[in-house]
Amino acid sequence: MAILAELRTLLREVVIQRMQTDPAHDLAHLDRVWVNAQLIADDHADMTVLLAASYLHDLVNLPKDHADRHLASRRSAGESEPILAELGFEAADIHAVQHAIEAHSFSANIRPETSEARVLRDADRLDALGAIGIARTFSVSGALGRVLYDPADPFAENRALDDLQFSIDHWKVKLLNLPQDMLTEGGKRLAQHRTVWMIRYLEELANEIGNPLPQSWIDP
């Protein structure tokens, strides 16, 4: 554990010099991903590899509306190599970290082939759920100039979902479906628990705006 703690300190020092001004993808996000990873990792995961991947997976962070967004994880993996080499990682472990980084991204659509890659993917997606997920959703949407919801049809009962325009639509398009997309048992359990709290938030929001929450949002 002491070795991991020392490595974590070194990794945090590296990434803090490179973090962009993005409250949804900052050092606190990396800390949370590492916490999530520890919660859901099984006995097969190499924790040193997983720690490095947790802190280096967003080295290249492109806005969600950027044309090259789907390439960000590959670029992060590429930029991780000299950092890992300087930290003394062997070639096989560098490759393992790079694969986990490449495969964590939703938009990259790369199949996770290792335990570490599956855990990192779930750990990163868990940070899009629950209380912190709610905060991050609105932070990202605000930065992109998206409104909270469609006042005429908040829950898209009579229109197509459009999460490029309405923040709440993104919950139905993606976030509420994440529990079914988790690859680890621990990830599934935590995702289901966190989604329950998001549904409660939506129910309160629905009450406040005077528009009942459709059952289809409660049972995605």
Q: Write out the chain's pLDDT in tens, 220 residues.
A: 668 999 999 999 999 888 766 777 889 999 999 999 999 999 899 999 999 999 999 988 766 655 566 677 889 899 999 999 999 999 999 999 999 999 988 777 789 999 999 999 999 999 999 999 999 999 989 888 999 999 999 999 999 999 999 999 999 999 999 999 999 999 999 999 999 999 999 999 999 999 999 999 998 6
Q: Catalogue the long-range contacts made by 187-196 (C-beta closer than 8 Å, 24 or more residues apart).
A: 187/40, 187/119, 187/122, 187/123, 187/125, 187/126, 190/36, 190/39, 190/40, 190/126, 190/129, 191/122, 191/125, 191/126, 191/129, 193/130, 194/126, 194/129, 194/130, 194/131, 194/133, 195/129, 195/130
Name the CATH architecture for the domain at 2-110. Answer: Orthogonal Bundle (1.10)
Where, residue-wise, is CATH 1.10.3210.50 in the chain? Answer: 2-110, 130-218
Which pLDDT belongs to residue 197?
Answer: 94
Report the SS3 class of residue 105. coil
Q: Do 84 and 41 form a contact (C-beta atoms < 8 A)? A: no
Which pLDDT belongs to residue 80?
Answer: 93
CA distance readout (Å), 61 to 91, 105, 212: 25, 11, 37
| CATH number assigned to the domain covering 130-218 | 1.10.3210.50
